[in-house]
Amino acid sequence: MPELRAYLIRELTMQAIGYFYVPEGGGDALAERQHEFAAFCKKQGYEMAATFLDVSGRNGDMSGYTQLLAFLKRPERGMVVVVVPSPGDLGRTPREIMRSYFDLDSLGVNVVCLDGTPDLARAVLAAWPTLQNGQDAGEKVRDAMRRKAIKGEVLGRAAYGYKSGARRRLQIVPAEAAVVRYIFRLYLRDGLGIRLIARHLNEEGFHTRRGGLWSMVGVRDILRNRVYLGTYSRLGVRVPYSHPAIISQDDFRRVQERLNSRRPSSTNRETALFLLSGLLYCGSCGNKMTGVTRRQRWQRSGDGGERSAMYRYYQCQSRINQSVCSYRTHRANDLEEAVRQALLGKRGTVVEAMPQAGDAEAALHEAQKRCDQLKTKMARLEKRLETYLEAAATGRVSYERLRNLGSSMAEQRLVLLESLEEAQQQAQRQSTAAERLKKRSEALVQLTGEWDYMTPVQRQALLRDLVDRITAEEGDIKVTLSH
């Protein structure tokens, strides 16, 4: 089935998000960075999903970075990597760079620098003394890591199948190397696709280095990684025969040829808005459900003419990426209408979920007090991060310990940021609780009488006003109302 195969190939495509810092009036610099970003995505086979830009830097308006975080928090974001020109684009000071790095790391996002800087956190720590003296962060990080690369030292985390050994050279981890060879064999000799390989590994009890399940992305990254040929490359420095090879040149070449032949010739996609995106969860495994569009073509038996149809459905992400969930699909139109009918049957519940009217001035005072409390907590977190960074730079805290602490604090900081934004919005609201009740009642009227005349975007916005979460199981749905 060529159409199904094309769909699976598209699902393997990693989305790349660009984030750039450009000085005011730096139009040429922005154009150059966008060109570099596009070239990088083309080379890596990534899909350019979005770009975010800040002009005035950390001391000014950071709306671009805020929008980036909001984008990455979306349940339907898919598989993404954040691409920056250099570490300096994440902050003007070492602390700001590390804070941004930990923000992204806590969201499960990898950061790639176009200048070739590997493992950004290690790089910043290596150049910490000079960076603290006020010198340019991005350039100092690149210089420090380039000197290590020239010596043949491993920069960043060792690829699966290897570990950093004597003189920081890669050494084979036998158990992991066996899995790497097994993946190449399943793809090249047994003819399995990437999704089926991930499923095969999970069913046989193989785990990733962190003890998790294999996904299509993890399998694809191994099949694409040239480190298994024995050549170490970083920052424009290539060291042939730097470490033992796991895969032969011939097998690696044939795998790349097959991967490239399966890549779709066009990146154009037919897209349709899924009304329940971000709200829908699988009742079988608890993971999010993603909207999928598929076009199917067939020939009529009578005259041999070709017909086609578009199918839209929701599928569990565990099923898509790891083949570990028994719940398969649910037709989009049927599920969306079932949710609307469920809401119409809960009219009283929706109204009762609204807060009762109260003293507006007292509510405003409480919101302002809440803002001050959240700002104090954030300042304490910043101070703790500074302390841990200094300790790691001087060897008093290990890198692994720093990363765990940094990601944990970033999770707390992002929660505080969301809470602060919510508190600030609450403090700025002029509407009373009664007005909010009126708005919810109006939404129910729209759901009943205006639904057929609304655009998909308007329908989605209406559902998000009314619904907090939807859980779908075979033949059953559960709608949790927003408060």
Pairing assessment for the beta strands 467-473 and 476-481 based on DSSP bridges = antiparallel
- What is the arrangement of strands in the sheet containing 289-299, beginning at the earlier edge strand? 289-299, 306-316, 329-331
Q: Which superfamily, per CATH, for 162-262?
A: Putative Large Serine Recombinase; Chain B, Domain 2 (3.90.1750.20)
Query: In Å, what is the CA distance from 331 to each residue of 134, 269, 309, 319, 338?
Result: 57, 20, 14, 15, 11
Q: What is the pLDDT of residue 269?
A: 44
CA proximity to 361, closest of 312, 420, 430: 430
Q: Which residue has the higher pLDDT, 478 or 28?
A: 478
**Does the pLDDT value for residue 12 go beyond 70?**
no
Kindly report which listed range (183-187, 201-205, 282-286, 397-401) carries the lowest average pLDDT score.
Answer: 282-286
Give 351-363 pLDDT, tens digit per residue.
334 343 344 456 6
Q: What is the pLDDT of residue 212?
A: 83
pLDDT digit string (tens) for 39-98?
888 888 888 888 888 875 444 556 788 888 888 887 766 778 898 888 878 877 778 888
Count of CB atoms situated within 10 Å of the CB of 122: 21
Question: Rounded to an integer, what distance in angstroms lies between the CA atom of residue 4 and that of residue 380?
Answer: 52
pLDDT band at 294 (very low <50, low <70, confident <90, very high): confident
CATH class of 2-150: alpha beta
For residue 451, the surrounding DSSP H or E stretch is none
Helices (H), 292-396: 317-322, 332-344, 347-352, 360-393
Mean pLDDT of 137-144: 59
**For residue 361, what pLDDT is reported?**
53
CB-CB contact of 210 with 141 (8 Å): no
Q: Which of 106-110, 264-268, 283-287, 369-373 has the lowest mean pLDDT?
A: 264-268
Q: Quick check: 478 pLDDT over 80?
A: yes
What is d(CA 371, CA 375) in angstroms, rounded to the nearest whole number?
6
pLDDT of 131 > 60? The answer is no
Per the model's pLDDT, the better-predicted residue between 153 and 135 turns out to be 153
Look up the pTM and report it.
Answer: 0.44
Spatial contact of 54 and 65, defined as CB atoms under 8 Å apart:
yes
Contact by Cβ (8 Å): 326, 284: yes
Q: Nearest to residue 62, comparing CAs of 52, 74, 50, 72?
A: 52
* pLDDT tens, position by position, 403-459: 888 888 888 888 888 888 877 777 666 444 445 556 667 777 777 777 877 788 888
The answer to whether residues 297 and 3 touch, using CB atoms and an 8 Å cutoff, is: yes
**What is the rounded distance in angstroms from the CA atom of residue 100 to the CA atom of residue 152?**
29
- Return the domain boundaries, the chain: 2-150, 162-262, 271-357+433-483, 360-431
Q: What is the pLDDT at residue 435?
A: 56
pLDDT at residue 355 in the model: 40
270 pLDDT exceeds 50? no
d(CA 318, CA 327): 9
Average pLDDT of the chain is 76
**Cα 84 to chain centroid, rounded:** 15
Q: What percent of the chain has pLDDT over 90?
A: 6
Q: In the prediction, which pLDDT does 23 show?
A: 63
**What pLDDT does 353 receive?**
41
Query: What single string gives the DSSP state of each residue in 30-59?
Result: HHHHHHHHHHHHHHHT-EEEEEEEESS-TT
Highest mean pLDDT among 248-257, 333-342, 438-447: 248-257
